[in-house]
């Protein structure tokens, strides 16, 4: 059993109210930007983006569909991904001719999203953009173009609101910073 979150939480970085306020703002922006798009599909990257996608789509007032892509990236160290990315679950429906918005929890080194972008761009979408809740820009190793960012965050390992530690704590309604010394595994999903 994992310890109660209070034991591994250093501090709350973004509380639930701030998350929801910012998500409403992004939802408004997306609703404006895609007002005339004939077909919008939001693709959630599993599993971390599930809470974000669920809250974000409720703030979007243009017709849209959702789909999911499950990706796994391995790190050489617990807090880094190495660029070795693989697909665990592919999209259900083709995206050819659709306006695609990728919805991600966090961009760290950028390797995962770089891979996803290259993969999806071969499938002739009408447009392809990225929306991420969190951006750890200091850690970027490969440039990825991001259209919507919820929050820029410092270089610390965070959890909650979809982001896990060993698959737990995704249900927390806030983003928290993990205490120094908590053991983290090598596979991100
Ligand atoms: P990237 O490929 O280095 O950009 O990392 C992408 C993936 O690593 C994200 O989709 C997350 O699943 C995971 N990740 C990166 N930083 C964190 C963190 O601070 N907490 C939890 N997961 C993270
Ligand atoms: Mg992820």
Residue 189 pLDDT > 70: no
Give the Cα separation of 88 and 127 in Å (integer): 24
- Residue 151: beta bridge partners? 134
pLDDT given for residue 131 in this prediction: 98
- Residue 72: beta bridge partners? 86
CB distance 112 to ligand 1 below 6 Å:
yes
| SS3 at position 173 | coil
Mean of per-residue pLDDT scores for the chain: 93
Atom of ligand 1 nearest to the CA of 73: 2
Number of the ligand closest to the Cα of 48: 2
Number of the ligand closest to the Cα of 144: 1
Give the Cα separation of 77 and 94 in Å (integer): 35
Sort 122 into a burial class: Cβ within 10 Å, 0-12 / 13-18 / 19+: exposed
- pTM surpassing 0.85? yes
CATH architecture for residues 5-72+85-178:
3-Layer(aba) Sandwich (3.40)
pLDDT given for residue 76 in this prediction: 42
Chain centre to alpha carbon of residue 63 = 21
Tens of pLDDT, residue by residue over 41-79, are 999 999 999 999 999 999 999 999 999 999 987 654 444
Share of the chain above pLDDT 70, in %: 92
CB distance 108 to ligand 1 below 6 Å:
yes
Tens of pLDDT, residue by residue over 70-113, are 998 765 444 455 667 889 999 999 999 999 999 999 999 999 99
| Closest to 178 (Cα-Cα) out of 151, 159, 150, 161 | 159
User: Probe ligand 1: pick from 74, 78, 81, max atoms within 8 Å of CB?
Assistant: 81
Tell me how crowded residue 182 is: count the other CB atoms within 10 A of its CB: 16
Residue 55 falls in the annotated catalytic set: no
Q: How confident is the model at residue 114 (pLDDT cuts 50, 70, 90)?
A: very high
Q: Where are the domains of the chain?
A: 5-72+85-178
């Amino acid at each position: 059993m994992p310890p109660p979150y209070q034991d591994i939480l250093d501090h709350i970085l973004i509380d639930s109210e701030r998350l929801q306020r910012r998500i409403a703002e992004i939802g408004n922006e997306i609703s404006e930007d895609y007002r005339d798009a004939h077909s919008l599909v939001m693709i959630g990257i599993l599993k971390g983006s599930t809470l974000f996608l669920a809250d974000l789509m409720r703030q979007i007032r243009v017709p849209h569909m959702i789909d999911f892509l499950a990706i796994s990236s391995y790190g050489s160290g617990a807090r880094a991904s190495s660029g070795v990315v693989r697909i665990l679950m592919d999209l259900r429906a083709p995206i050819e001719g659709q306006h695609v918005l990728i919805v991600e929890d966090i961009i760290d080194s950028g390797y995962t999203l770089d891979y996803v972008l290259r993969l999806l761009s071969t499938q002739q979408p009408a447009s392809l953009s990225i929306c991420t809740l969190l951006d750890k820009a200091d850690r970027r190793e490969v440039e990825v173009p991001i259209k919507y960012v919820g929050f820029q965050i410092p270089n610390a390992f965070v959890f909650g609101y979809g982001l896990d530690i060993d698959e737990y704590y995704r249900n927390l309604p806030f983003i928290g910073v993990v205490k120094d010394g908590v053991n983290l595994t090598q596979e991100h999903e």
